[in-house]
Amino acid sequence: MSRIGKKPVELPKGVTAEVKGQVIEVKGPKGTRSFTATDDVTLSVEGGNVAVAPRGMSKRARQQWGLTRSMVANLVTGVSEGFKKELEIQGVGYRAQMQGKTLKLQLGYSHDVDFETPEGVTITAPKQTEIVVEGIDQQVVGQVAANIREWRRPEPYKGKGIRYKGEEVFRKEGKKK
> Does residue 95 sit in the same domain as residue 152?
yes
d(CA 61, CA 54): 6
For the chain, the domain total comes to 2
> Does residue 121 sit in the same domain as residue 144?
yes
Cβ-proximal residues to 39 (8 Å cutoff; 6+ apart), any chain: 22, 55
- Nearest Cα to Cα of residue 162 among 116, 117, 131: 131
> Does residue 28 sit in the same domain as residue 97?
no
In terms of Cβ atoms closer than 10 Å to its own Cβ (0-12, 13-18, 19+), residue 131 is buried
- Supply the CATH number for residue 18's domain: 3.90.930.12
d(CA 145, CA 154): 14
Cα torsion through 29, 32, 38, 39, rounded to 10? 90
pTM score > 0.85 for this model? yes
Amino acid at 166: G
At residue 177, the pLDDT reads 79
> Does residue 128 sit in the same domain as residue 90?
yes
pLDDT tens per residue across all 177 residues of the chain:
678 999 999 999 999 999 999 999 999 999 999 999 999 999 999 888 999 999 999 999 999 999 999 999 999 999 999 999 999 999 999 999 999 999 999 999 999 999 999 999 999 999 999 999 999 999 999 999 999 999 999 999 999 999 999 999 999 998 887
3-state secondary structure at position 106: strand
> Does residue 140 sit in the same domain as residue 152?
yes
At residue 148, the pLDDT reads 97
> Does residue 69 sit in the same domain as residue 95?
no
At residue 24, the pLDDT reads 96
Domain span at 113: 83-164
> Does residue 92 sit in the same domain as residue 60?
no
At residue 146, the pLDDT reads 97
